[in-house]
Amino acid sequence: MPLFSVIVPVNNKIATLSTSLECLYRQTFRDFEVIAIDDGSTDGSLDVLIQHEKAGLLRLFQQDSMGGGDYASYNLGADKAKGHWLVFYDAKGIMLLDHLSCFANDIAHNPGIELFFNAYQKIQGQSRLPYLKGMPFERLSRFEALRALARFDFIHINGVCISRDRFVSLGCFPAGYYRRSSDVYFWLKVLCELRTVHYNATVTSLWLIKHENSINDMRQVFELPPALQLFKEYNSKLTRSELRQFRRAINRKVISRAVQKKKLGQSVCLDLKALELSAMSMRLWINAASLLVPQPYYDRLCSRIK
């Protein structure tokens, strides 16, 4: 059996598919399989995947209910996986050649850990954007991981490696319940369940944000972040310090979603009411206060910032 199963969901990604797959095939670490899940592509992506399957480069599956979304595709891929470890790969990104080798090395040196992260970097056009530094190259306790997530998004779907058994035991991504941010919900849940995770500060994947500007389903923005549903589940299971960072991380995601809604001229009253006021940092208070600015002035402020 391969060490890794790399799961690639595909739905009309012809613009980046060939380049993304080529990065995957050129990995310096070779003990892996590629599982592609086509989700009703109509732009020629399925034809490309069929050709690659015939060449023996990947195993191809199609969702029974087309349009199930990337999270449902990841779950299907996990069900079909033969590897001990799952690696997720959005075909809108770039996987650097040492991505899997970094995971393999960290797994070998950290027995007992079931969740690994590599750093990622955003790229726009031909330029890499600055990324936040300061995260350690080490094992992170539950408190440290939650505190990091309360500060910034150090987790990206392309930079995660998780034990297949752990992924399945926690129910996989809640694909049938939320249209967006199912991965954020799941990572928060895993961080609450595991005592220790591992973070590697080496950038091994690039996120092409030029493909993230459009929103296919406007209801995605109007929903409250699904992570709010975790409050009750873990309120009594975490220490006081862990719970504070957990709540702060969720507050940050709530405000982030509210900013998107505000830019679209939508009410953010429910979002602000959902905040846990006892777990607000100064930065979060400032961001929340900016959402109270009347819409015309807020729009003017955003245009100046751009």
Could you report the per-residue pLDDT of 37-70, keeping only the tens digit for each?
999 889 999 999 999 999 999 999 998 766 568 8
Tell me how far apart the alpha carbons of residues 21 and 35 are, in angstroms, rounded to a whole number. Answer: 11
Arithmetic mean of pLDDT, 168-195: 84
Mean pLDDT of 59-84: 88
**Non-local CB neighbours of 239 within 8 Å, separated by 6+ positions:** 143
Single out the residue of 137, 275, 112 nearest to residue 199, CA to CA: 137
Question: What pTM value is reported for the model?
Answer: 0.87
Instruction: Residue 50: count other Cβ atoms within 10 Å of its Cβ.
Output: 13
What average pLDDT does the chain have? 86
Q: Report d(CA 68, CA 2) in Å as an integer.
A: 27
pLDDT for position 218 = 45
Looking at residue 146, its pLDDT comes to 95
Point out the least confidently predicted range of 96-110, 116-130, 139-153, 242-256: 116-130
Residue 2's pLDDT is 96
Helices (H), the chain: 14-25, 45-54, 70-80, 99-109, 142-151, 164-169, 182-193, 219-222, 230-234, 240-263, 269-274, 282-290, 295-305
Residues in the chain: 306
Closest by alpha carbon to 120, among 191, 201, 193, 54? 201
Measured CA to CA, the distance from residue 173 to residue 23 in angstroms comes to: 25
Cβ-contact 178, 159 below 8 angstroms: no
C-alpha distances in Å from residue 53, one per residue of 31, 50, 87, 90, 211: 18, 5, 19, 18, 26
Contact 250, 225 (CB under 8 A): yes
| Termini Cα distance of the chain | 50
Pair of tokens at residue 146: 């939650």
Of the listed ranges 22-26, 174-178, 187-191, 282-286, the least confidently predicted one is 174-178
From 214, 227, 148, 215, select the one nearest 187 (Cα to Cα): 227
pLDDT at 235: 83
Count the helix, strand and coil residues of the chain and give each as a percent rounded to the nearest 5: 45, 20, 35
